[in-house]
Structure 1
Amino acid sequence: MPMITNQPAKMGSYSEDDVLFLLKDLSNIQLEDSTLNREMRVQAGQHYSESLPIEYQPPEEYVDLFWSTANEYKSKVALCVGIVAEQIYRNKGNQTILVSLARAGTPVGILVKRYIKFRYGISLPHYSVSIIRDRGIDENALHYILEKHPEGNIQFVDGWTGKGAISLELTKACQQFEKNYQIQLDDQLAVIADPGHCTTLFGTREDFLIPSACLNSTVSGLVSRTVLNDTYIGKKDFHGAKYYQELLPSDVSNDYIELIAGEFSAINPEAEEIALQREHEEINVEFKGMQDVRTIQKQFDIGSTNYIKPGVGETTRVLLRRVPWKILMRDPSSPYVRHILMLAEEKGVEIVTYPEMNYLCMGLIKSVKGTSK
C-alpha cells in the first residue's frame, strides 16, 4: 500500500466532527468559466472535471422555495435517511466507515452519521472523497482511509441515482482497486433515493425532491464540485475542490442538517420497521433509468446519453450548471418539480409534458457544438 502524506483539507463550513474532506484545496485557482464556454469545451472533448461552472446564485424567491420545500419534506427526507442508516448499521456495525461521494453525497453522509449517533450512540468516521465519471475514484483518498482504519468496513454514500453512471463507475473503481492492491471494497452505494433502480441500499425508489439538490455549494458545506486537472493535481495528491468562503452569508448547509436531524426521533420507529422488512424482500438492481434514456435519446435524436439527465436531482443540476435544451415532465403539477418550473422560466427553457417515463422529469442538455462564444 502506498505511503500517504496527504491530510484532510481544512475546508468547508461543516464541523470536522461531521465530515473530513479528503480533497486538495484549489480555492486560489481560477477554474470557473461561463456556462456556455464551459459547455462548449466539454462537448468538444474536455473532461468536465477539469474546470468548474460559475456557482449559480439564486434569487430570493428561489431560496424561499428551497426552505418551504425543505420544511414540507423534512420528515420524508429524515425517514429515508433513517431507513438507509439502519440498513448500513445492521450490515456493518461499529466498524463502518462512511465515505460520501463529494459533493451531493456529503450532506447525506453527515445525516447518516448523525442518525446512527442518535440511534446507537456510535460516532462513525465520515470522509468525503471524489469520484469522477470515466476517471474513477480518488485512490489516494481510499489509501488514507484504509491506513487510518485498517479494521474498518467502508460504506460509500451518495444523494440519489439518475441513470446509474456513478454506481457503475464505483463498481469499476472498486474492481480496479482490488486488481491493483488486492484489497476488496464493497461497491454497494447507499442513497436516499434510487429512482433508477441502481442499488439495493436506499431509502426510497420514488423520484422525489431531496431539498439539498435544489442548491449548489451553499447546501454542501461551500465546497465546489471536485476537480481532476493534471495542471493542479499531482499523482500523489487528493482530487481537488474549492472552498467558496465568499458565499458564507448565503450558506445554509448546517441549517439544513439540523432541520432534517431534528426529525429523527419522530421517524425512528418507522425507519426501523421498514429497514427490517427490507431484509426479507427481494430487491433487484435493474438500471431502469437507462431504458427510459435510450427511448428518449432515439425519439429526440440526441447524440449522446450524457446529454440526458433523468430524475428530479439530475434535472435540477442541468438547470443550475449546464446549458439546458428542454425539460421533460411526467407531471408538471407534482409538488416535487416546483423549483424546476421556476428555474426553467427564469432561464427560458421549454417544458415538455412527457408522461411515458419512470422518472418525474428529465433534463436534456443543449448541443452547443459550433456555437460561437
Structure 2
Amino acid sequence: MESKAKKRFGSYKEEDVIFLLKDLSDVQLEGKTEEREKNIQKGQHYSETLPIEYNPPEQYIELFLSTLKDYKQKVAACTAIVSEQIYQKSGEKTVLVSLARAGTPIGILIKRYIGLQYSINLPHYSISIIRDKGIDENAISYILKKHKGAKIQFIDGWTGKGAISIELTKACKEYEQKYHIKLDDTLAVLADPGHCTTLYGTREDFLIPSACLNSTVSGLVSRTVLNSAYIGKEDFHGAKFYKELFPFDVSNDYVEAITAEFSRLSFEKIQSAILNNQKEQNISFKGMEEVLAIKEQFSIDSTHYVKPGVGETTRVLLRRVPWKILMKDPLSPYVKHIVMLAKERNVEIIHYPNMSYTCCGLIKKVGEKE
C-alpha cells in the first residue's frame, strides 16, 4: 500500500500533511468541461475523470488575495474554535484525517493551531472520500495500523447539503461491519451552513478563501480519483500532482497567512463561541429541505445538480457547467467573486431571498435526456 521509495506528492511540507493517495500524475484523466458534464449526466461517476485545471487567471488570483485579506481572521477564529473542541475531545490520541482536497488546508491549519497552543505535533493525513463510493478503507487501515489506539478526527472545509457527512457516516458503519473497529463519524468543518455536524467553527455561510481556487490552493493536488482502470484493490484512491502549476501555487502562502492570525485571536472570544456552538448541537440537515424545494421549483432532475453554499457555488462556476445562480443578497461581500465568475461565464443570477444559504449554484442539464 505504500511505496518504499516514497516520492514527494503535493506542494505542502511533509510535516504539515501526508497524502495517502496513489500518484496518477502520468495518467490522462482530464476532459473538456462540457464533455465531462455530459458523461457524468449519462451515468459516468464523477470520480472516474477530472476537470482540466489551468493556471488561475490574474483576476482569480486578485480575488483570492482580496478575500484572504478580508476573511483571514474569521478563518483563523473558526479554526481555533474547531481545534479547541477537537483537542478537548481526544487530546494527544488524536490523528487528524482531512478529506482531500478541500479539507486538506483546513487540516493543516488545525494541526498548526494545536501545535502552537499545546506544543503537540499531531499526525495529519489527507485521504479520499467519494460520494456514492465511500471512504478509502485502505488509507484508514494504514493509519490505524501505524497509530495504535488512535482517535481519528475527520476534517473538511465546509458543509453544503450534507452529502459528504452522510457518506462519512455510512462509510464508518461499513468499516465497523467489515473490521469490527468503530470510527467516530463526526466531521469537523470551519462552516456548517447545512446543519450537518456538531463540530464546527460557525454555521454562517461565509466565503472560505480557499474555495476561490482549485489545486493551486490545495497543495497542487487534483480531486481524488476512483477508476478501476488505475486503482487496484490494495491501492489508495488516486490523485494527480500538478507540478507544472508550481509557479502559480499559493497553498503554503494561504496556510502561513492564516497561521499568522492565531496569535491575534482573543481566547475569551474563542471560548465564548465554543459555548454558543455547544448550545447549537442540532443536526437537522435543514439545507436539504431547501435543496428539495429548489429542485421542484426549477424542475431539476436530481439534487446532485443543486449545490448550496458559497463554497459549492464557487465550485460549480469553476469546474461544472452552471445554469443559474440563486443569491440571498447579491450585494453581500461574500458573493463578490460569485458575481464576477457568473458574469464571466454569462450565467444568470436570480435574487432568491428566502434561503438560509448565501447562494446556491444550479448545474445545467447537458445533452439529450437518456
Contact 2:63/2:212, CA 8 A, preserved across alignment: no
| 2:263 corresponds to which of 244, 262, 265 | 265
TM-score, normalisation: structure 2: 0.97
Give the residue type in structure 1 aligned to 2:265.
I
Correspondence for 1:173: 171
- Paired residues in the alignment total 368
Query: Does the CA-based 8 Å contact 1:49-1:228 persist in structure 2?
Result: yes
Distance in 1, matches of 2:117 and 2:171, equals 32
| Alpha-carbon distance, 1:277 to partner | 1.2
Q: 1:66 to 1:279 in 2, by over 3 A?
A: closer
Counterparts of residues 12-91 of structure 1 (less than 5 Å): 12-91=10-89
Superposition pairs for residues 163-202 of structure 1, below 5 Å? 163-202=161-200
Residues 208 and 336 in structure 1, CA contact (< 8 A), matched pair in contact too: yes
Q: Is the 8 A contact 1:171 1:187 kept in 2?
A: yes
Inter-CA distance 131–280: structure 2 relative to 1 (3 Å threshold): closer
Aligned-partner Cα distance in 1 for 2:342–2:168: 32
Q: CA deviation at 1:39?
A: 0.3
**1:1-373 to 2 correspondence within 5 Å?**
4-5=1-2, 10-270=8-268, 272-274=270-272, 276-278=274-276, 281-370=279-368
User: Structure 1 CA distance, aligned partners of 2:340 and 2:238?
Assistant: 32
Structure 2 gap ranges (5+): none
SS in 2 for 1:128: strand
What's the CA shift string for 1:118-138, capped at 9, x where partnerless? 100001000000000000000
Question: TM-score, with normalisation over the residues of structure 1?
Answer: 0.96
- Report SS of the residue matched to 1:228: coil
Q: In the alignment, is the contact (CA less than 8 A) between 1:110 and 1:126 conserved in 2? A: yes
The C-alpha deviation readout for 1:84-133, integer Å capped at 9, x for no partner, is: 00000000100000000000000000000000001000010000000000
Secondary structure (helix, strand or coil) at the match of 1:154 reads strand
Opposite residue 284 of structure 2, the aligned amino acid is: E
1:310-366 CA distances to partner (integer Å, 9 max, x unpaired)?
A: 000000000011000000000010011111111111111111111010101000000
Which runs of 5 or more residues in structure 1 are unaligned?
A: none
Measure the CA separation in 1 of the matches of 2:286 and 2:158.
Answer: 14
Instruction: Give the % identical residues.
Output: 66
Cα distance change, pair 12–268 in 1 and its aligned pair in 2 (3 A)? farther
Quick one: which amino acid aligns to residue 71 of structure 1?
K
For 2:307 and 2:277, the matched residues in 1 are separated by: 31
Q: Which string of whole-angstrom CA distances, capped at 9 and with x for unpartnered residues, describes residues 144-194 of structure 1?
A: 000000111000000000000000000000000000000000000000000
Q: CA deviation at 1:6?
A: 5.6
The answer as to whether partners of 1:86 and 1:271 remain within 8 angstroms in 2 is no
Q: C-alpha root-mean-square deviation of aligned residues, in Å?
A: 1.4
8 Å CA contact 1:86–1:116 kept in 2: the answer is yes
User: Is the Cα–Cα contact under 8 Å of residues 60 and 213 in structure 2 kept in the other structure?
Assistant: no
Runs of 4+ in 1 over 6 A off after TM superposition: none
Which secondary structure does the structure 1 equivalent of 2:13 belong to? coil
Secondary structure of 2:279 counterpart: coil
